[in-house]
Structure 1
Amino acid sequence: MKQQTKSFIWLIIFLVGFPQISETIYTPSLNDLAHLLNVSANDIQKTLSIYFAGFAIGVFLWGILSDFIGRKRSMLIGIAIYLLGSFLCLRSTEFHFFLLARFIQAVGAAVGSNVSQTILRDVYNEKERVGVFSTISAVLAFSPAIGPMLGSIVASIWNVSMVFRLLMIIGSIAFIWSLFGLKETLNVKTKINYNFHVIGQNILKDRLFWIYGGIIGVVNGVIFSYYGEAPFIFIEMLRFSIVEYGYIGFVVALASFSGARFCKSMNKKISNYKILTTGNFVFFVGIFIFFFAVTFLEPSSVLFIIILLLAIFIIMFGLACLLPVCLSNVLLHHKNYLGIAGAFLGLYYYVVVCVITLIMSWFHSPELYVYPLFLLFWFLVNWILMMFNRK
């Protein structure tokens, strides 16, 4: 495929990134939102889980539709649904209605994640994809940081309702940019009538699909569970202001950027398996440092804050090493039906993300040691998955 323009890459980055911003932008206001909707901290964390339940359905829906009605048309319809969900979030005054609005918002937002990745697989060959995914992952490392930062600033100046107005603006930009800047990449001449039974059998038998897809789900689940827990750790327990909490997002961003760049630099030097095991080991080191901080240091001390931020940096660095390899290779055996295969992949790993964030909402506790125990469990899950991929 011919070299893509920089504007194309930036459009794809924006389309992949705005669902992440949508998820993280209101997390600094979780405490305020819980009070506004008159629910507990455990309940308000379920707004993260419902988002990923909608996202799981959305990526499945858009992955299939993109193979039948085209990538661009699917993108525009999905963003329109996202705008509707964002508007309903803005108008919500009751918890269960807010959950429904978040679900609709997520179904629409999923188009940015799924269809954008399918477009990249359309236009880049196997050798180019790891580098492209690493580059995009490195840039996108800042989207989770941008979300809390924007959310904290907006909430501190105005209120949480203004956050959802901002999301409507972001969605409008995504719609207009896609309308004029996105070209159709589905090759209609080679389009075939898919046999879902055969495709389903192929996926069920594909070890890489289940291993890499599971790791993608665990990594994203851990990252977004952090965004569910972090406001309560830093704002409620450690008494950070909402703006100070927003700045912490750049620690995560720098870690994710560094991890993605490390993966890209190691791509041609060591095997995929070694990159994955290295990343997971770094993840474990971060968890160990987290345990050390909560066990031996006084939470109100400056040293505790420094060590805690170091632990978070190392955790996120390790996780960021895993994603480019998994995203690039997870559909390696399904090139003839990437849209539908991507739909099954998205359904799979976002169900994993939904389950992980839901478990975190159940185990949410004012005791700081609970979260690193939670992380340790998912490190072990990753390690087991990698053992099945050992060659």
Structure 2
Amino acid sequence: MTTPAAPKTLRYALILGSLSAFAPLSIDMYLPALPRMAGDLHSSDTTLQLTLTAFIVGLAVGQLVLGPISDAVGRRRPLLAGLAVYAVSSVLCAVSPSVEVLIVARLVQALGAAAGIVIARAIVRDLYSGTAMTKFFSMLMLVSGLAPILAPVLGGQILRLTSWRGVFVVLTVFGALLLLATVLALPEPLPPERRSPNRLGATLRTYAGLLGDRSFFGYALAGGLMFAGLFAYVSASSFVLQGVYGLSPQEFSLVFGGNGVGIVLAGQLNGRLVGRFPERALLAAGLTTSAVGGIGVLVAAVFSLPLPALLVPLVLLVASIGMVMPNASSLALAEHPRSAGAASALLGVLQFVIGGLATPLVGIGGENSAIPMGVVMASFAVAALVVFVTMTRPVRVPSPAVSEATSGRS
């Protein structure tokens, strides 16, 4: 088995990374528009929040359903169907005449987005194994790592040019372009002989087996807890850095963007270190760095330390995601090649369910203190390290290679 040529690897990275970015783009880009949407749709803020709830529910259900389906029928057909559903439902979001229609459209949009997220991870497992898989997950951070950080900024810039409906027009174009790219440049990676039966009983047994695999669940849970820390940062950092520390919108954008670059750089550093050091060691280093950063953020918040004392540990915590997520995903999927779709689904569901819990938690203490953000981020970071230490074990990782499914493909 041979490693693919660089242009082919880059092509896969761009497409699969963009598929992985569906959720943060679809969630975070429209958040700055919520106040305007409430007025335009004559809706209360509480009712409008159901558009976010519907999307999270759709992501969870869609991944749980589509992951096993892709194990049974191959990756391309459910992926293409999901991308088409995403593009059409994004149009419906853009033209929604009422909040009720928007809620339904967002639910359908999430089902389409779920196909991209869950199948992208499964395709990586189809194509790569061992350290090659971890390196490729690290490469994906070039695209997917920036999405949750830059999406709110991009949404805010779109709102300067058009209404909230323009955000969904941009998402429509994004979905349509990815559909075209998938049709033209992403061949089927899962041959028929490697597919699994698509029966409800078999699917339920697969999920039960994965949840009963202490190590798989440990790696997945550690990644989910880290993702929750990122959710807490995205939802609270603007209030903390602007409201508490007095940064201007432009200064906040620089800090926000700088942390996004930190995720990408950490991901690329991880890609260079994989093969020289075991994935478990790199994951342990990333989780330890995150825990140290989280504790530092909490200390800075509790004692009202100057801004640099907050920013340094904040950078450590946020950037460490670029090292944690590739290794956690690779180690979780390593021993489940025949159920990569189902395993990918559980990874995604844990990330967004736990991440969804982080958003309301940071708001409990109000918007005039950095302590709630520090408590939530530190708690999730430390919990992720504890889960890793107590629940996971080394996995049997194959030698660096690309699966035979990719041999000879262009």
Asked if TM exceeds 0.5, the reply is yes
What's the counterpart of residue 88 of structure 1?
92
Identify the match of residue 274 of structure 2 among 267, 272, 276.
267
User: Given the alignment of the two structures, is residue 211 of structure 1 paired with residue 211 of structure 2, yes or no?
Assistant: no
Residues 170-319 of structure 1: matches in 2 within 5 Å?
A: 170-193=174-197, 195-196=202-203, 198-234=205-241, 245-297=252-304, 304=307, 306-319=308-321
Query: Kindly tell me: are residues 353 and 294 of structure 1, through their superposed partners in 2, closer, same or farther at Cα, counting changes over 3 Å?
Result: closer
Could you state the TM-score of these two structures normalised by the residue count of structure 1?
A: 0.85
The one-letter code of the counterpart of 2:165 is S
AA aligned opposite 1:350: F
Query: 2:26–2:171: 8 Å Cα contact kept in structure 1?
Result: yes
1:59 matches 2:63: yes
| 1:112 is aligned to 2:119 | no
Where does residue 330 of structure 2 map in the other structure?
Answer: 328
Deviation at 1:385, TM superposition (A): 0.6
> Are positions 1:21 and 2:25 aligned together?
yes
Q: 1:43 to 1:291 in 2, by over 3 A?
A: farther
Asked whether the equivalents of residues 73 and 195 of structure 2 are also in contact (C-alpha less than 8 Å), the reply is: no
Distance in structure 1 (CA, Å) of the matches to 2:115 and 2:71: 13
SS in structure 2 of the partner of residue 367 of structure 1: coil
What's 1:79 paired with? 83
Offset at 1:86? 1.9
1:317 deviates by 1.4
Distance in 2 separating the partners of 1:44 and 1:246: 26
1:85-138, CA deviations, whole angstroms, 9 ceiling, x for partnerless residues? 322332346555444333222221111111111111111122310111111124
CA contact (8 A) 1:152 1:243 kept: no
After superposition, what is the alpha-carbon deviation per residue over 1:303-360, rounded to whole angstroms, capped at 9, x for unaligned? 53x5444343222112322111111011222222222333344334433333333544
- Match for 1:185: what amino acid? P
Mind listing any 5+ residue stretches in structure 1 that lack a counterpart?
none
Deviation at 1:239, TM superposition (A): 6.8
Tell me the secondary structure at the aligned position of residue 330 of structure 1: helix
Q: In 2, Cα distance between the equivalents of 1:311 and 1:44?
A: 34
Instruction: Please list, as runs of the form range in 1=range in 2, the aligned pairs for 1:319-358 lying within 5 A after superposition.
Output: 319-358=321-360
Q: 2:171 aligns with which of 164, 167, 170?
A: 167
- 1:154–1:163 Cα contact (<8 Å) kept: yes
CA contact (8 A) 1:39 1:95 kept: no
**Which consecutive unaligned segments of at least 5 residues does structure 2 have?**
394-410
Amino acid in structure 2 at the alignment position of 1:337: S
Q: Label 1:139 to 1:90 Cα distance change in 2 as closer, same or farther (>3 A).
A: closer
Q: CA deviation at 1:72?
A: 1.2
| Pair 383,43 (structure 1): closer, same or farther in 2 beyond 3 Å | farther
2:146–2:261 Cα contact (<8 Å) kept = yes
Task: Compute the RMSD of aligned alpha carbons.
Answer: 3.0
Range moving further from structure 2, 356-365 or 248-257: 356-365
Preserved CA contact (<8 Å) 1:28 1:231? no
Q: Is the 8 A contact 1:27 1:228 kept in 2?
A: no
Compared with structure 1, are the counterparts of its residues 225 and 90 closer, same or farther at alpha carbon in structure 2 (3 Å cutoff)? Answer: farther
Task: Decide whether aligned partners of structure 1 residues 178 and 362 sit closer, same or farther in structure 2, where only a CA change above 3 A counts.
Answer: farther
Q: How many residues align?
A: 385
TM-superposition CA deviations, 1:181-236 (whole Å, max 9, x none): 22111211343436335424432331122101111211222212322233444566
- Say if 1:95 and 1:380 are closer, same or farther in 2 by CA, change over 3 A: farther
CA distance in 1, matches of 2:273, 2:50: 38
In 2: Cα distance, 1:235 partner to 1:163 partner: 24
Is it true that 1:148 corresponds to 2:152 in the alignment? yes
| Equivalent residue letter for 1:371 | M
Q: Which residue of 2 aligns with 1:368?
A: 370
| CA spacing shift, 1:20–1:333, aligned 2, 3 Å | same
AA paired with 2:288?
F
TM-score for both structures, normalised by structure 2: 0.82
Change (3 A) 1:237 1:151: farther
Confirm or deny: 8 A CA contact 2:244 2:369 kept in the other structure: no
